[in-house]
Amino acid sequence: MTSTMQRSHKEIKNTNPKIIMFLCRWCSGKGADLAGTSRLQYPPNVLPIMVNCSSRIDPQLVIEAFLEGADGVLITGCHLGDCHYKTGNYKAYKRMTILSKLLEQIGVNPKRFRLEWISATEAAKFAKITTEMVEDLKYLEPYRKGGKR
Amino acid sequence: MAKLKTAIVLGATCAGCDVAILDLNEKIFEVDDLCEFVFWPTAMDFKIDDLLALEDGEVDIGIYHGAIRTSEDLEMAEILRKKAKVVVAFGACANFGGIPSLDNLPYDQSLFDLVYEQVPSMDNPQGTVPLEIIELKSGDELTLPKMLKDAGALNSVIDVDYYVPGCPPMVPLIEKVVDVLKKFSETGTLPPKGTVIAGEGTLCEECGREKPEQISYHAFFSPQETKKIDPDKCLIPQGIICMGPATRSGCGALCTKMNVGCRGCMGPTVKVKDHGLKMISALTSLLEVDTEEGMTEEQLEKIVQRIPDPLGTFYRFTYGSSLISKLHSDKEDK
Ligand code: SF4
Ligand code: SF4
Ligand code: SF4
């Protein structure tokens, strides 16, 4: 509630933010499918890229996504303990925790980069997180880091 | 045979690169036989006019060390490019922006105030701070070169022919450069443009430490925190951060021989696009691999918090030319 109130004072700077979303095939991807088949509403700003496991995502891909014009990057995977490959998401967590700290050091707004666990049944969480992130990014300038949009 | 006209130009440098040249010991006589120094202000009394007085292209070999940090560094680089047939980026600063490029972080006034006013050791009642211009009582002005927005590598402002990395370049590499110069002076041939005068593989190939089949380690340590470091085994499984897997070979594993993890002064190998990101990827795959299962987010977080400064750790020498530096932004509203 407070956050929407605060927001209402701020102006929208980016009507159409673009988010690159990495999904793992086994949990988050299924969660996204379920959101679709359950006809949940979620914003069309998210461009999904399916990978086998969240540990497959090299930090370089995140940076390249930004340089190709993304306003935000969202990485999703199975909850800890649920990884199809047992511990892929543990690696992703360590990796992305260091990366987000690094991004913060160089001045990247933390709202632009998120890591979330979404299981195959959590269609509602998928819709909630994507909506939330798109809303957040509307209040930041278009990123245009690689000179692209 | 005519000597090679050689100019050594300084950018934002600590001059360690000059000292490294003098570290050649008796090989320095070969340098003296080969080169006639037409500009080298660290070693002899030269002024900028001495360089400007030369014809364009008259200098055979132009060596530049230090980053491009100020308007003067930029100007000197441009003059050197005009005067020299061949330009060599010498040292980590000229190659990748080096340590000065760590200054490219979002500017924060509070840091400036801390350094010039608040630190307990500061005694500065008049609040003197560095300025680009001061006016003297006589009415004259004294000026310093302007700080550029960012510090960068030499090839961000001029065309560079050869690269010699390292902080500073190590004697064996400088000896290689001397051999290249010798061949040039005798036969007129040079290596292909863009050649990096260093090793090709990774530091790990050069480091004699024994690497276990499967590497796993628990938490990171600073060398001074560990009781005993095994001098024969790879440092990473001993919990010491070592940039070896992503770093170019050629230094002879100077640091790892001394039980100190490599900090990456030779820069990334050709295959690595971004030095730090590759290392983050590699190190996090190995961290606690045999014990991570079942850990909570808080536990994992605590372990990675042992790297309090990822930027300084993984980009000590290469931030200025890294991929991530392209994302560098002034602080947005949070
Ligand atoms: S590369 Fe190292 S030794 Fe050379 S100028 Fe830079 S900091 Fe100094
Ligand atoms: S100590 Fe460093 S350079 Fe040597 S093998 Fe291990 S990781 Fe590679
Ligand atoms: S071990 Fe690493 S930091 Fe040390 S000299 Fe070699 S490349 Fe540079």
d(CA B297, CA A94): 9
Give the CATH number of the domain where residue B49 resides. 3.40.50.700
Which of B106, B307, B324 is nearest residue A98 as measured by Cβ atoms? B307
**Residue B300's pLDDT band (boundaries 50, 70, 90)?**
confident
Contacts of B318 (CB under 8 A, 6+ apart): B92, B96, B97, B98, B101, B264, B267, B268, B275, B276
Taking the domains of chain A in order of start, what are their residue ranges? 15-51+60-114+126-138
A13 in contact with B, Cβ within 8 Å: no
**pLDDT greater than 60 at residue B334:** no
pLDDT given at position A68: 94
- Cβ–Cβ gap B293/A98 under 8 Å: no
Do B221 and B156 share a structural domain?
Answer: no
The yes-or-no verdict on residue B333 having pLDDT over 60 is: no
Task: Give the ipTM.
Answer: 0.87
A3 touches chain B (CB under 8 A): no
Domain that holds residue B57: 4-99+149-187
Instruction: Identify the closest residue of chain A to B284 by CA–CA distance.
Output: A95
> How would residue B299 be classed by pLDDT, with cut points 50, 70 and 90?
confident
Residue B124's Cβ-side half-sphere holds a number of Cα atoms within 13 Å equal to: 14
* Pairing mode of beta strands B84-90, B59-65: parallel
Given a contact cutoff of 8 angstroms between Cβ atoms, the answer to whether B197 and B176 are in contact is yes
Q: Is the pLDDT of residue A8 over 70?
A: no
**Optimal mutation site among A11, A20, A60, interface B, most CBs of chain B within 10 A:** A60
- In the predicted structure, residue A7 carries a pLDDT above the cut 70: no
B289 and chain A in contact, CB less than 8 A: yes
Residue B192 lies in a domain: no
In a domain, residue B248? The reply is yes
Contact B287 A94 (CB under 8 A): yes
The predicted pLDDT at position A48 comes to: 93
Domain shared by B23 and B157, yes or no: yes
Q: Ranked by mean pLDDT, which of A40-49, A79-88, B167-176, B211-220 comes out on top?
A: B167-176
* B73 and B36 part of one domain: yes
The count of structural domains within chain B is 2
pLDDT band per the 50, 70, 90 thresholds, residue B291: confident
**Whether pLDDT at A62 is above 60:** yes
B276 interfacial to chain A (CB closer than 8 Å) = yes
pLDDT of residue A6 exceeding 70: no
This prediction's pTM: 0.91
Q: Which of chain A's residues have a Cβ under 8 Å away from the Cβ of B271? A: none
What is residue B304's predicted lDDT score, i.e. its pLDDT? 84
Averaged pLDDT for residues A26-36:
86
Question: Do B172 and B229 share a domain, yes or no?
Answer: no
The pLDDT, as a whole number, for residue B183 is 94
Q: Are residues B155 and B70 in the same domain?
A: yes
Q: Are B247 and B266 in contact, with CB atoms under 8 Å apart?
A: yes
The predicted-structure confidence for B4-60, as pLDDT tens digits, reads as follows 999 999 999 999 999 999 999 999 999 999 999 999 999 999 999 999 999 999 999
The reply to whether B71 and B169 lie within a common domain is: yes
Q: Is residue B51 part of a domain?
A: yes
Query: DSSP of chain A, one letter per residue?
Result: -HHHHHHHHSPPS-SS--EEEEEETTTHHHHHHHHHHTT----TTEEEEEES-GGG--HHHHHHHHHTT-SEEEEEEPPTT-BTTBSHHHHHHHHHHHHHHHHHHTT--GGGEEEEE--TT-HHHHHHHHHHHHHHHHTS----TTS--
Ligand 3 centroid to residue B260 C-alpha, Å: 9
Is the residue at B244 inside a domain? yes
- B31 and B83 inside one domain: yes
- For residues A62 and A73, the answer to whether their CB atoms sit within 8 Å is yes
A41 or A49, which is more confident: A49
Residues of B within 8 A of A58 (CB-CB) are 277, 281
The reported pLDDT for the residue numbered B331 is 61
Summary mean pLDDT of chain B: 92
- 3-state class (DSSP) for residue B63: strand
Asked whether residue B130 is assigned to any structural domain, the reply reads no
pLDDT at residue A9, as a whole number: 62
Please report the pLDDT score of residue A2 as a whole number. Answer: 46
- Taking contacts as CB-CB distances below 8 angstroms, the residues of chain A near B331 are 107, 109
Q: B43 lies in a domain? A: yes
Q: Mean of the pLDDT values across residues B244-267?
A: 96
Provide, rounded to the nearest whole percent, the portion of chain B with pLDDT above 70: 98
pLDDT, residue B332, reads 63
Has residue A109 got a pLDDT over 70?
Answer: yes
On whether residue B199 sits in a domain, the answer given is no
Same domain, B182 and B246: no
DSSP E strands: which ranges in chain B? 4-10, 35-39, 59-65, 68-70, 84-90, 133-135, 141-143, 147-152, 162-164
Mean of pLDDT values over B106-119 = 86
Q: Between residues B234 and B227, which one has the greater pLDDT?
A: B234
Q: Same structural domain for residues B174 and B241? A: no
